[in-house]
A and B are shown apart, each in its own frame.
Chain A
Amino acid sequence: MSKWVLLGIRSGTKTTRYPSHTESAAGISPGRPKDTLMADKNAQALIRDLCPTGALNPKNDRIAVDYRRCISCRRCARGASTLVDWEESWEWASLSAPDLNASSALGSPFSQSLHIRVLDAGACRACLSEIEQLGKPYYNIHRLGFFMTPTPRHADVLLVAGPVADNMRLPLEKAYDAMPTPKRVVAVGACALSGGVFGPSFTSYGSLKNVIPVDVEIPGCPPPPLAIIHGLLVLTGRRPPAESGATSFLDRRSGT
């Protein structure tokens, strides 16, 4: 057995230092399209038609991005002469209601110890695979006080991926009801936010919001592990959400 211990020690520390330091390794995030200045109406129409899910829409002289719909197909980054800008970021999570205040996000008792139940509501396994990476050496969310729990009865947070397949509606509702209050729901990935390419349809509800209330939204197809960590930090008030400025959210939190 000692050889395993030696192997472990020899590997050194791989874990990212996010959020206390920034992470700059290559390949940690696929990036996403950015709000782009584009005055030419023809180019705007071209970009709009390129997007298969209607995530890119002209708005005055810009192309606005609806991240709930973006499925990372990268068709807007290839194939047209005028392309949208691309950002190599990962802090994408936002609070689902813009005026959500600190008392509706989980308060300080949970900020350093949060138990999470992952629920697969019809996900393609890419989101689940990224969630699984959270517990592995490169990301290791235990260092941040986040823990996965096998039962909803011990969970503070329900982390849901997938377009809510019809056969999963009942298990999802039961799991949500079984959680003690206060409880929070995080929707992970384009499918859970807008149904992605699958819904709404005869088999999918198209959005987690149509079934249970959602507090934090993490867009992406799939969101990379760091984006999911950011979502959990947003939920506990330790990082600002994507939409608002860096200080405003923290100010709001300390003000109430």
Chain B
Amino acid sequence: MNQSHIARPTRKDLMDGICSRWPGMEANTRIEEDGSALITCDIATLRELCEWLFCENNYAFATLIVEDEEADWLFRYIFYGDAEVGVVHVCMKQPKSNTVAPSISAGVHAADWHEREVEDLFGISFEGHPRLGDFVLHEEWPEGVNPMKKDFDASKPYMHRQVDPEWRPLRILEAQGAFMMPIGPVYSDYAEACQFFLETVGEDVVRTTPRIFYKFRGVEKLAENQPVERVLLMAERFSGASAFAHSLAFCRAVEKISGLEPPPRGQVLRVLFAELERLRHHVGAIAGICGSTALAVATSQASILEEELLRLSCIMSGHRYLFGVNRPGGISIDVTSDQCKMLGDSVRSIASDLKNLFDMLRLSSSFLDRIEEVGIVSTENALSYGLVGPVARGSGIARDLRNILPYGPYKSQIACQTALETEGDGYARLRVLFREAEESANIICRLSSELPPGDVASPEFRLKAGQALGWVEAPLGAAFHWVSIGEEGAVKRYRVTPPSFMNWHGFHLAAENFAFQDFPIVMATFGLSNAECDR
């Protein structure tokens, strides 16, 4: 089932296809130094070209980047295939005076929320998009003020307008006795701020609409004109639970611009820390799933392992969440061989405890009853919503950036298997989490005993001007960081596409026609982060 998604055309197929379909387009297509293809197109071709890539050639949609240039809006749509076909940038320019762009989301549904985001932040509307407005900026924000425009002053707080008393959340369900139950943004014991509108006709919830961006901190705007060192702190801190992955994606983009890779020891240590973070994240997610089904002992067992991994991270790096480890050119700490041995031993014992936990869970029928066939996302839906990470892999999509767009040591040195399940329900996602946690533990154990000698950071690292896309497989899935650095060394444009943003888009698929008491379970098996999404 998954094979059909892996079989993608080669780079030559891409060029041939473009030439035969749009004669003359080859002049506008070029292959960049890093192997990515850059296609420049006009407004008329944009929609067709994007649909052709997404629907007919199985390219995944990565992100939409809008740049506010002197005279034009620059739209950059990024798609990715696998290592063979790489990354495709589709660029389109239109004059500043034209604030209406064609919407590609009818064909490329994964771009739906990206367009809504751009509409709120840049004031550009998308022709043909069914639902714009009230997304990033909530009802208190004044109309017509668009913070991502160059002329907006981000340092000052803006003036509130009165909340519109007529404002109501969008309701879709129309039936006798239909009722809408709002949950959040302050709810549950430790939950992140997010609101859900559950539309119900009695016990069953027919539809769920999440309202996100309660935690919008405007990282992309705050990064503008800031030195790289400062932006690194934000890249690390907008999502504390996957701080290492995001700082790594940012650093990789900066290093790509400079054309300098970190030394081997630095690269391998980065993998070590990235996998340690993934392991800790997945163990935490497993604890969350056990907790959502009220299985107390299993929750405690997983939580014990999570705290042990937090302590281990602190012993290795000085910080429980691996803050301050990455820096452009490498990492800022080195580890001793004693530390590595201790890490390997501890992770091995944690992996064996995890295995025991899974063996007990899979034989606990009361637990399985609650997560099997709950929150199902079909492969087709997962593809069209562009879902990523463990959620997509639980729905039969074999996409893991470590394998399809390998970076650093994942290119050759480290083989990691893509965990894949096809049912798309809560149990499939749980199994993916366990498999990936095991795989991460294996990688850590292997690498900790064979670290290459040498420096951990490149002493010759110098900042350069330019722009590049950095990506990593974060614990929750594919993360893309677009960084553009100006001549004076400050960041001109920073665009983050975190995995949670892609997956919250598809969350409503899993939260349809279910019994109300299953809601926490659907939430936990998705395991999404609002901090990461809202950035």
Contact = CB atoms under 8 A, between A and B. Distances in A.
A135 B303 CA distance: 10
Given A125-B241, A167-B216, A137 B300 contact: yes
Contact of B222 (A26, A137, A198): A198
Contacts of B529: 125
A38 interface: no
A99 B141 CA distance: 39
A170 B184 CA distance: 12
Contact of B320 (A1, A27, A79, A125): A27
Query: Which of B295, B303, B320, B333 has the most chain A CB atoms inside 10 A of its CB?
Result: B320
Interface stretch (B42-50, B304-312, B435-443): B304-312
A72 B323 contact: yes
A164 B230 CA distance: 20
Contacts of B320: 27, 30, 130, 222, 224
A43 interface: no
A65 interface: no
Interface string B229-257: 11001100111110100000000000000
Given A25-B311, A202-B157, A120 B241 contact: no
A203 interface: yes
A37 interface: no
B332 to A, nearest CB: 6
A30 B240 contact: no
Nearest to B234: A197
Given A27-B310, A125-B240, A3 B215 contact: no
A249 B85 CA distance: 67
B202 interface: no
Query: Which of B140, B147, B192, B229 has the most chain A CB atoms inside 10 A of its CB?
Result: B192
Nearest to A210: B157
B297 A198 contact: no
B190 interface: yes
A204 to B, nearest CB: 6
Contact of B332 (A79, A125, A174): A79
A217 to B, nearest CB: 19
B68 to A, nearest CB: 16
Interface stretch (A4-12, A101-109, A228-236): A4-12
A152 to B, nearest CB: 7
B19 to A, nearest CB: 46
A135 B214 contact: no
A150 to B, nearest CB: 6
Interface string B137-165: 11011000001000011111110000100
A35 interface: no
Interface of A: 1, 3-5, 7-8, 11, 14, 25-31, 52, 71-75, 77-79, 117-133, 135-138, 148-150, 152, 162-163, 165-168, 170-171, 174-175, 196-205, 221-222, 224
The 6 tightest CB contacts between A and B, nearest first, are A126-B240, A27-B311, A27-B314, A124-B240, A136-B303, A203-B218
